[in-house]
Amino acid sequence: MVRFEHVTKQYGKDVPAVEDITFNVAKGEFVSVVGHSGAGKSTLLKLLIAEDKPSSGSVFLDDIDVNNIDPSELPKLRRKVGAIFQDFRLLPDRNSWENVAFALEVSGVSGKDIKEIVSQVLKLVGLEDKAKKFPRQLSGGEKQRVAIARALVHHPDVIVADEPTGNLDPVTSWDIIRLLARINEIGGTSIILATHDREIVNALERRVITLDHGKLVRDEIKGRYVI
Amino acid sequence: MLTFFRIIRTGFLSFWRNRWLSLATVLILIVSLSILTSLVMVSVVTNTVVADIRAKVDVSAYFLPETSEEDILKIKEDLAQYPNIAQVQYISREEALIKFRQLHANNAVILQSLDEIGDNPLEASLNIKASEASAYKAIAGFLESKYSDLLDKVNYRETASLINRLFSITETIKRVGLAASAVLLFIAFLVTFNTVRLAIFSMRDEISVMRLVGASNFFIRGPFLVEGILGGLFASVITFALFFGLTYFLSPSVSNFLSGLDLFKYYYSNALQIFALQLGVGIAVGTFSSTIAIRRYLKI
């Protein structure tokens, strides 16, 4: 479903951020991508959501070459991928409900459907009572839940999470990871989780891809955080 | 259609939510539009002044006393065929005398000496008004070459320098006014552009989120365009109202200074054109600067 083929990304003349990366993620898989800061985790995810283009190699999503499609098709592609980040990236001038609804508005979903879908996903992430709150009125964990709800509305094939727990305390972090695991289990949505949280990775006992200095050094089905 | 409606609503919403930046944009636009409108008004005033002065300029051709009235009237008809002639008036010797006496009614010495001469010493003349100040030279030349045997003198030679000076002054006023308005409008555009760019820059995170959740470029750009249009709309309405009041209160003093010029009446009777100009320029500047300012944030 997600396929990286000999992907290299080099910024300027520096050492490549990622170099010759090849791996697959099947439908319904939960993959952790681990490595030190600067190992290339974020670069990898950016390439998948077409926020950046690889210097060489290709990234495929459902057999579509992500970096080689018509720019007008790009918005549609992005709707197939839900993305969540360490810094949440919510719109500060919209409340939780509007933040989630926005992702549907841009794709032309009718008002009635928006109401239904947004209520559903807010309930799923456990925020139905915080719908009218603005991001500044929410805790870090709640903000990340809104972001997850927003990532879910398009029923994405895959959710990419770039250090989603980076700004959260351990307890809240676990809530978020459990939520992602549940989404993975009930919806069959693939999850690609970039993290350097050793405890979380070890406790998950799922597939782990380890990056070191931009190179893929380990890919294990039931992996552990080993570096 | 649904998307279109949402874009407009989003535009209105963000115009309101960023009301301080919107206010700044509107204020800058008001200043720009005021400059533009002032230039229009100034050009109306200068045109009136210039027309006023031009109407007072004329050329008189004086004929030798023995020239018959018939000949002079023939010349008058001949002149009427000549290009750029606005009006030709015949003043007979008798009329000239009556005017002269009226003019000097309070001067006993002149009247007395006139009586002593007994005969009418004044000459018949043709008073010529041209539609263009630049035409006087040619008219004077035409008369002097064709009717030199009947003419005593053409007083163009005496007023020539005055006419030329007036001519060059009005041309300079027009040219400087045009250049000044072009420069000021360009500055206004730059300032507006910068304000809008600042507004968009402050929203770059929002723009990146919009792209992230799969908003098309059209959907991202749309609300900014709506905001630009709204800014232009508000600015033009306010500027229009501002000048409505301004001309109303200033008009009496301007009329005192320049008789026959009613600025308020001019504004009032040309209200539609003036508002269309303000609205057009306001919306154009708002939209154009939004479009350019957002372009760089829409690249992949």
Report pLDDT for B300. 44
DSSP for B75-112 reads: HHHHHHHSTTEEEEEEE-HHHHHHHHHHHTTT-HHHHH
Contact B3 A79 (CB under 8 A): no
The residue in chain B having the minimum alpha-carbon distance to the alpha carbon of residue A70 is: B300
In this structure, the number of other CB atoms found within 10 A of the CB of residue B131 comes to 12
The residue in chain A having the minimum alpha-carbon distance to the alpha carbon of residue B299 is: A71
Domain covering B58-158: architecture:
2-Layer Sandwich (3.30)
DSSP B299: -
For chain B, positions 208-247, list CB contacts with chain A under 8 A. 208-217, 219
CA distance B26 to chain A (A): 21
Instruction: Say which amino acid occupies B100.
Output: F
List domains and CATH numbers for chain A: 2-220 (3.40.50.300)
Nearest Cβ partner of B214 from A89, A90, A106? A106
DSSP-H helix ranges across B82-216: 93-103, 108-117, 136-146, 156-201, 204-212
Q: Cβ contacts of residue B122 below 8 Å, gap of 6+?
A: B93, B96, B97, B100
Report pLDDT for A165. 93
Over residues B238-294, the pLDDT tens digits come to 999 999 898 888 888 877 776 667 888 888 888 888 899 889 988 888 888 778 777
Which of B300, B297, B296 has its CA nearest to residue A47? Answer: B300
The residue in chain B having the minimum alpha-carbon distance to the alpha carbon of residue A100 is: B213
Over residues A107-148, the pLDDT tens digits come to 888 889 999 999 999 999 999 999 999 999 999 999 999 999
Do A127 and A149 contact (CB within 8 A), yes or no? yes
In this structure, the number of other CB atoms found within 10 A of the CB of residue B116 comes to 7
Nearest Cβ partner of B214 from A51, A107, A110? A107
The residue in chain A having the minimum alpha-carbon distance to the alpha carbon of residue B206 is: A91
Structure tokens at B20: 């301080």
Domain layout of chain B by residue ranges: 2-53+167-298, 58-158
Do B285 and B227 contact (CB within 8 A), yes or no? no
For chain B, which ranges sit under pLDDT 50?
Answer: 300
Q: Which residues of B touch A66 (CB under 8 A)?
A: none
Nearest Cβ partner of B212 from A53, A83, A93? A83
Q: Which residues of B touch A106 (CB under 8 A)?
A: 3, 210, 213-216, 219
B8 touches chain A (CB under 8 A): no
In order along its 227 residues, chain A shows pLDDT tens digits of: 899 999 999 988 888 899 999 999 999 999 999 998 888 899 999 999 888 889 999 999 988 998 888 888 888 888 889 999 999 999 888 899 999 998 898 888 888 999 999 999 999 999 999 999 999 999 999 999 999 999 999 899 999 999 999 889 999 999 999 999 999 998 889 999 999 889 999 998 999 999 999 999 999 888 888 77
**Which among B212, B219, B220, B297 is the top mutation candidate for probing chain A, defined by the most A β-carbons within 10 Å of its own β-carbon?**
B212
CA distance A30 to chain B (A): 22
Structure tokens at A57: 């190699």
Contact A108 B211 (CB under 8 A): no
Over residues B59-75, the pLDDT tens digits come to 888 888 888 888 888 88
Reported ipTM = 0.76
The residue in chain A having the minimum alpha-carbon distance to the alpha carbon of residue B212 is: A78
Q: Which residues of B touch A71 (CB under 8 A)?
A: 217, 300
Nearest Cβ partner of B2 from A90, A102, A110? A110
Report pLDDT for B207. 82
**Which among B7, B20, B204, B213 is the top mutation candidate for probing chain A, defined by the most A β-carbons within 10 Å of its own β-carbon?**
B213
